[in-house]
Amino acid sequence: MLEPRADRPALVTLDVWGVAPRAVPAALARMALDRPLLARAPGARFAKLLGTGDGRTFTVRDADPLHWAVLVAWASPGDAAAFEGSPTVRAWRRLAHERLRVELEPLTSRGRWGGREPFGGEDLRAARAHTGPVASITRARLRGRPRRAASFWRAVPPVSADLQRVPGLRCALGVGEAPLGYQGTFSVWESTEALRGFAHRRAAHVDVMDRTAAEGWYAEELFARFAVRSLTGTLGGRTP
């Protein structure tokens, strides 16, 4: 475990719930009903209800109405454990036929989400000290100009196609608060080296990184890396 820091949550959880087609309307309703419940959950320092997709284009064509995610940064592991008995979790258990639960410990984070730094700031010493599986969360809010958004969407498919071929990737999915304009990814990797290999040595991704500042795609962005402390359940019928 890492040394505690006041600006860093003790634990971050991501739950991805899989539902049958007939349960999609109820899942959509939970996206609205759970918002105030999460805001009042003891120990929840930051929480987001997220739609998911395959991340191939970051447009509505990617959307997966059969999988929904709940991301929470917790003040303590005990708060996360207590939330398992909450109305939110009980409702999703009734709706869902599968659940992937990933428990994460923040290593390093850069940028903001909704004007906040939910996972703490840069901690390069912690990132260097970690060995074992890691996860990455990226999130960006696109600028409103249609021409800029269109150039971003054109740049995404080569990166997404290349991602599926990268050694060391255990799973990846698109996540977002809305179908358009709020783009994010969640991925799990065998090691920090595997993640770095994709981020810094794959031509398609490096090209997008180089173009980001020049094109001015994002009004806000965040990149965070985590130690994977626990991964249970299934996503699409398999455990990553």
Spatial contact of 174 and 160, defined as CB atoms under 8 Å apart: no
How much is the pLDDT for 71?
Answer: 97
Given its phi and psi angles, is residue 202 left (phi above 0), alpha (psi -120 to 50 degrees) or beta? beta
CA triple 178-93-68, angle to 5 deg: 15
pLDDT for res 162: 62
Does residue 158 have a pLDDT over 70? no
Domain-located, residue 138:
yes
Torsion angles phi and psi, residue 68, rounded to 5? -135, 145
1 domain-assigned: no
d(CA 21, CA 60): 18
This prediction has a pTM of 0.86
pLDDT at 167: 82
Does 212 fall in a domain?
A: yes
3-state secondary structure of 133: coil
CA 82 to chain centre: 22
At 58, the pLDDT band (50, 70, 90 cuts) reads: very low
Name the residue range of residue 159's domain: 11-232
Specify if 217 maps to a domain: yes
Read off the pLDDT of residues 113-136 as tens digits, 9 standing for 90 and up.
Answer: 999 999 987 665 555 677 799 999
**Is the residue at 239 inside a domain?**
no
Structural domain contains residue 107: yes
* CATH code of residue 27: 3.30.70.100
Q: For 199-230, what is each residue's pLDDT tens digit?
A: 665 555 555 565 666 566 677 889 999 999 99
**Domain count for the chain:** 1
- pLDDT at residue 196, rounded to an integer: 81
In a domain, 192, yes or no: yes
